[in-house]
């Protein structure tokens, strides 16, 4: 009989080595998000009003831009977002052609390692959409940053299931809709 895999303790904070620096952190109100190589680091709030909402998106753009099948995101008010380091190391790519809302989405990537740190929509210039996977304290992926909703569910690849206990939305979720 194969030995059962030991389940990882996901309640513990886990700070991966983000490039040369093992310097991510979190406290009650804030945490860091760092690119894969460590050059770019952001600081963001882990609660309202700065943290707006958390979501998974299955749209076609999210597949392409993540090189995966969906994106796991959270939206932050720019007034509460700090570039700790590496802002000059961000490169941008913007287009509106494939965006469902026909707004221009600008993507901010680390020039060195290619990690997509955040996206901004021309319709909501006061907000940035960050990536849950870039957050250094992995215990937050399980708790405060757990997705509240899943959108573009009609686009979800057939071999993935809906997120259990998470609001399912066709198309883009808009507040108050
Ligand atoms: Zn990087
Ligand atoms: Zn999307």
Mean pLDDT over 75-85 rounds to: 98
Ligand 2 centroid from CA 65, angstroms: 9
What strand order describes the sheet that includes 127-131? 90-95, 105-110, 116-121, 127-131, 71-77, 51-57, 149-151, 167-168
Element (H, E) at 139: helix 139-142
Query: Higher-confidence residue: 174 or 28?
Result: 28
- What is the distance in A from the centroid of ligand 1 to the CA of 40? 6
- Can you name the CATH fold of 30-168? 2.170.150
Residue-wise pLDDT for 111-135, tens only, equals 999 999 999 999 999 999 999 999 9
72 C-alpha to center of ligand 2: Å?
Answer: 9
């Amino acid at each position: 009989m194969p030995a059962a895999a030991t389940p990882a303790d996901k309640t513990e904070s886990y700070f991966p080595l983000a490039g040369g620096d093992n310097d991510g952190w979190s406290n009650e109100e804030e945490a860091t998000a760092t690119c894969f190589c460590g050059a770019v680091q952001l600081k963001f709030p882990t609660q309202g009003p700065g943290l707006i909402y958390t979501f998974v998106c299955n749209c076609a753009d999210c597949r392409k831009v993540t090189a995966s099948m969906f994106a796991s995101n959270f939206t932050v008010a720019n007034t509460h977002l700090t570039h700790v380091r590496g802002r000059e190391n961000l490169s941008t790519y913007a287009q509106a052609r494939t965006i469902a809302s026909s707004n221009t989405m600008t993507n901010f990537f680390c020039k060195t390692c290619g990690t997509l740190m955040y996206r901004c929509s021309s319709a909501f210039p006061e907000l940035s959409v960050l990536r849950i996977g870039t957050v250094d304290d992995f215990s937050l992926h399980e708790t405060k940053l757990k997705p509240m909703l899943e959108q573009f569910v009609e686009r979800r690849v057939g071999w993935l299931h809906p997120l259990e206990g998470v609001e399912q939305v066709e198309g883009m979720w808009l507040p108050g809709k």
